[in-house]
C-alpha cells in the first residue's frame, strides 16, 4: 500500500512539473538555421503547406484586459535557469534578438493550455505576464506588429521573444530566422499608432520618428502600474539625470549596442554609461543638469542615433 501511495505521489509530481514547464524548448541543443526563405530559427522548421493566401493581411492583436493565467505566471525553471514572470504590464521595454517558430510547434499546447497557431499574431516570452500584449518592432526596418503573449520561451541563445510565423512575416524576418527587435509591453486598450517603416541602406536603418503609445481607457488596477509623477526641476537637480538609449537582458548585447552608439556619436561632451538596474543592462548618456535639459537634447540624439531616448534618473 505504501509503495502504491509513493508511486501515485511521484506521478502527481511529474504531472505537475510537465504542466509548469514551458513548451517551446525542451533541450539545449537547438541551433539557428542558415538563412533560407523556408527556415525558422530551428533546423527543419518553417511554414507548412497550408499557408493562408491572405496571411500578409493578418490583423495585429488588439490589446484588451484579460485575467492573468493562474499557474503560468508563477516563478519557474527552464534549462537550468530560474525565471520570475512580471506581475504587471506597460512597464517593460527591451531590445534584443527575436526568433520565430512554425510547423514544429503548430498545433501544440502553449503554457496556458491554448493551441499554438503559427498563423495567428501571438508570441512566447519568458517573463511578460500571460496573457498580455506587446508591440514588437524590427530595428532594421522599423516595421512593427502587436502580438498576444500566450506562451513561455525562448530559453536559448539570449533571445528575448519567439514570434509566430505570421508575426515574423509581417516584420520581414522569415528568411533570416531571427532579427534585432524592440519589445514593448502594452496596457489593455492601448492605442498603438504604427511606426513608419524605413528604407534600409547598407544594412543600417535611416532615422525614424517613433510615436508614443497612449492608453485610451483605464485598465484594471491589478494589470496596470500606477503612473509616475514628473519630478519638479529642483528635485531633478539633486540627482544625476541621464537619457536612456536602450535596455538589454544580457551584458554582451548591451556592450555591443553601446559600442555602436559610441561610433555614431563620435566626439561628444556627454558620456555613455552602462548601468545594471532592475535586472536589465541599460545604456545611457549624460549627465544632464535637469530633466528639462535632457528632454531638450533628446530630439537631436534621436535624429543622430535612430533611437528614441527617454529621461532616466539614476
For the chain, domain boundaries:
38-215, 233-313
Cβ-contact 119, 125 below 8 angstroms: no
Give the Å distances, CA to CA, from 25 to 2, 124, 125, 213, 241. 36, 11, 12, 32, 41
pLDDT at 185: 94
Encode pLDDT of 147-190 as tens digits. Answer: 999 999 888 777 899 999 999 999 999 888 888 899 999 999 87
> How much is the pTM?
0.56
Q: Which residues of the chain have pLDDT under 70?
A: 1-49, 103-104, 193-239, 268-269, 278-279, 314
Helices within the chain (DSSP H only):
2-20, 165-170, 233-236, 251-265, 291-305
CATH superfamily of 38-215: RlpA-like domain (2.40.40.10)
Instruction: Give every strand in the sheet of 310-313, ordered side by side.
Output: 271-277, 280-288, 241-248, 310-313
At residue 258, φ and ψ (nearest 5 deg) are: -60, -45
**Which of these, 260, 274, 273, lies nearest to 304 by C-alpha position?**
260
What is the per-residue DSSP string for 34-91? PS-TT--SBTT----TT--TTGGGPPPP-----PPPTTTTS-EEETTEEE---SSSS-
Burial of 4 (0-12, 13-18, 19+ CB in 10 A): exposed
Q: Give the position of cell 516570452.
A: 125
Tell me yes or no: is domain 233-313 CATH 3.30.70.2190.
Answer: no
pLDDT at 160: 92
Encode pLDDT of 134-147 as tens digits. Answer: 999 998 888 999 99
Adjacent-strand bridge partners of 149 = 123, 132
Give the Å distances, CA to CA, from 93 to 109, 132, 147, 181. 27, 14, 14, 11
Q: DSSP secondary-structure letter at 190? A: E
Amino acid at each position: 500500500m505504501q509503495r502504491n501511495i509513493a508511486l501515485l505521489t511521484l506521478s502527481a509530481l511529474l504531472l505537475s512539473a510537465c504542466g509548469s514547464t514551458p513548451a517551446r524548448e525542451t533541450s539545449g541543443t537547438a541551433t539557428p538555421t542558415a538563412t533560407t526563405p523556408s527556415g525558422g530559427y530551428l533546423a527543419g522548421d518553417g511554414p507548412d503547406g497550408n499557408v493562408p493566401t491572405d496571411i500578409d493581411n493578418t490583423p495585429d492583436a488588439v490589446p484588451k484586459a484579460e485575467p492573468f493565467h493562474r499557474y503560468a505566471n508563477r516563478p519557474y525553471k527552464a534549462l537550468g535557469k530560474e525565471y520570475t514572470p512580471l506581475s504587471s504590464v506597460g512597464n517593460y521595454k527591451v531590445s534584443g534578438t527575436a526568433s520565430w517558430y512554425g510547423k514544429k510547434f503548430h498545433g501544440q499546447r502553449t503554457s496556458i493550455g491554448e493551441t499554438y497557431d503559427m498563423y495567428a499574431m501571438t508570441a512566447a516570452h519568458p517573463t511578460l505576464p500571460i496573457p498580455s500584449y506587446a508591440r514588437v518592432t524590427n530595428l532594421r526596418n522599423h516595421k512593427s506588429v502587436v502580438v498576444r503573449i500566450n506562451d513561455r520561451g525562448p530559453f536559448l541563445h539570449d533571445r528575448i521573444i519567439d514570434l509566430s510565423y505570421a508575426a515574423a512575416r509581417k516584420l520581414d524576418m522569415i528568411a533570416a530566422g531571427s532579427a534585432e527587435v524592440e519589445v514593448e509591453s502594452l496596457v489593455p486598450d492601448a492605442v498603438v499608432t504604427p511606426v513608419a517603416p524605413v528604407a534600409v541602406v547598407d544594412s543600417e536603418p535611416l532615422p525614424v520618428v517613433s510615436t508614443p503609445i497612449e492608453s485610451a481607457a483605464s485598465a484594471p488596477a491589478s494589470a496596470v502600474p500606477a503612473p509616475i509623477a514628473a519630478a519638479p526641476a529642483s528635485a531633478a537637480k539633486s540627482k544625476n539625470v541621464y537619457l536612456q538609449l536602450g535596455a538589454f537582458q544580457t551584458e554582451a548585447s548591451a556592450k555591443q549596442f553601446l559600442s555602436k552608439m559610441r561610433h555614431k556619436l563620435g566626439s561628444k561632451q556627454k558620456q555613455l554609461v552602462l548601468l545594471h538596474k532592475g535586472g536589465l543592462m541599460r545604456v545611457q548618456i549624460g549627465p544632464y543638469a535637469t530633466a528639462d535639459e535632457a528632454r531638450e537634447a533628446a530630439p537631436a540624439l534621436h535624429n543622430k542615433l535612430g533611437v528614441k531616448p527617454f529621461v532616466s534618473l539614476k
